[in-house]
Structure 1
Amino acid sequence: MSVRIRTAQQEDTAQLRSLMLEYIVDFYKSPHPEDEKLKALISVLLKRERGIQFVAEHGEELKGFATLYFTYSTTRVAEITVMNDLYVAEDSRGTAVAEGLFNACKEYSVKNGYASMLWETADNNKRAQRFYEKMGGKQGNFLTYSI
């Protein structure tokens, strides 16, 4: 499978919206977001000021996406990226799509001088954990909480 990894563009919005809904609703079983909120998020990411999205394209079809958000680390006294999402459509899992998306995020972070790239995955997502270990990731010492 020949896949091209690139930054998301305005013309990707419809397909990106569909992939993001698969990720949010089908994969993570989260509530369906309001259409306007999802549109607004995609619009923010297309501006590349607070974050950036990479997409995996096979022919004319998007097969996955990864999202980096830009933030700071007080303990590192530096800017960092957070890879908040890495999603591959079910029919493309087990191919090089995930590696391509991950590497695009990593390369972007390095090239743009970020101190580190952080990410998280669900504790029961063993497939993702194996993938991240294969990519050189190490499980951190911090527990994640939310409210």
Structure 2
Amino acid sequence: MSVHIRTAKQEDAAQLRILMLEYIVDFYKSPKPEDRKLDELICVLLKRERGIQFVAEQEGELKGFATLYFTYSTTRAAEITVMNDLYVAEDSRGTTAAQGLFHACKAYTEQNGYASMLWETAEDNRRAQRFYEKMGGKRGNFLTYSI
């Protein structure tokens, strides 16, 4: 069965919400966000003004998503995209879903004239690191901090 990659649309909101909660709570072990805040984020991304989401769909069921945010790079003096999320449900890992989502983000970045696409992953997420290297990604020289 093939996986179809496309931009998220309003009808995807309910399934997207479930996948995003799996990603946030189950995968990253982060606290569950308030329902209102998650719904607002999905709404913002569906407008495609500050970011965009791509989904992997198989037989009407969403199996994964990738999120691109639009921002700037001072050092490049140009607009860039940040792939903040790439998540595939456990039962679809090892399929073409992750590659399709990654390629959709990369193609969007290139086709819309962004200078580059950046992303990060957890230091202990070796599977993701191998995947990103396979996709042609290069490890950067910057460390990420948060507060």
TM bracket (short chain): over 0.9
Deviation at 1:36, TM superposition (A): 0.2
- Name the aligned partner's letter for residue 67 of structure 2: T
Distance in 2 between residues matched to 1:23 and 1:56, nearest whole Å: 14
Q: Specify the SS of the correspondent of 1:25.
A: helix
The aligned runs of 1:58-137 (5 Å cut-off) are 58-137=58-137
- Aligned counterpart, 1:144: 144
What's the Cα RMSD here? 0.3
Q: Specify the SS of the correspondent of 1:67.
A: strand
Distance in 1 between residues matched to 2:140 and 2:6, nearest whole Å: 29
- Aligned counterpart, 1:43: 43
- Name the aligned partner's letter for residue 46 of structure 2: L
Distance in 1 between residues matched to 2:144 and 2:31, nearest whole Å: 21
Q: TM-score, normalised by structure 2?
A: 1.00
- Aligned counterpart, 1:5: 5
- Spell out, residue by residue over 1:7-61, the C-alpha distance to the aligned partner (whole angstroms, 9 max, x if none): 0000000000000000000000000100000000000000000000000000110
- Name the aligned partner's letter for residue 54 of structure 2: F
Distance in 1 between residues matched to 2:111 and 2:32, nearest whole Å: 35
Distance in 2 between residues matched to 1:104 and 1:49, nearest whole Å: 17
Identity percentage of aligned residues: 83
- Name the aligned partner's letter for residue 114 of structure 2: Y
Distance in 2 between residues matched to 1:122 and 1:105, nearest whole Å: 19
- Name the aligned partner's letter for residue 68 of structure 1: L
Q: TM-score, normalised by structure 1?
A: 1.00
Q: Structure 2: state its 5+ residue gaps.
A: none
Distance in 2 between residues matched to 1:95 and 1:5, nearest whole Å: 12
- Name the aligned partner's letter for residue 111 of structure 1: Q
Deviation at 1:116, TM superposition (A): 0.1
Q: Specify the SS of the correspondent of 2:11.
A: helix
Deviation at 1:100, TM superposition (A): 0.0
Distance in 2 between residues matched to 1:73 and 1:19, nearest whole Å: 30
Q: Specify the SS of the correspondent of 1:139.
A: coil
Distance in 1 between residues matched to 2:50 and 2:128, nearest whole Å: 25
Q: How many residues align?
A: 147
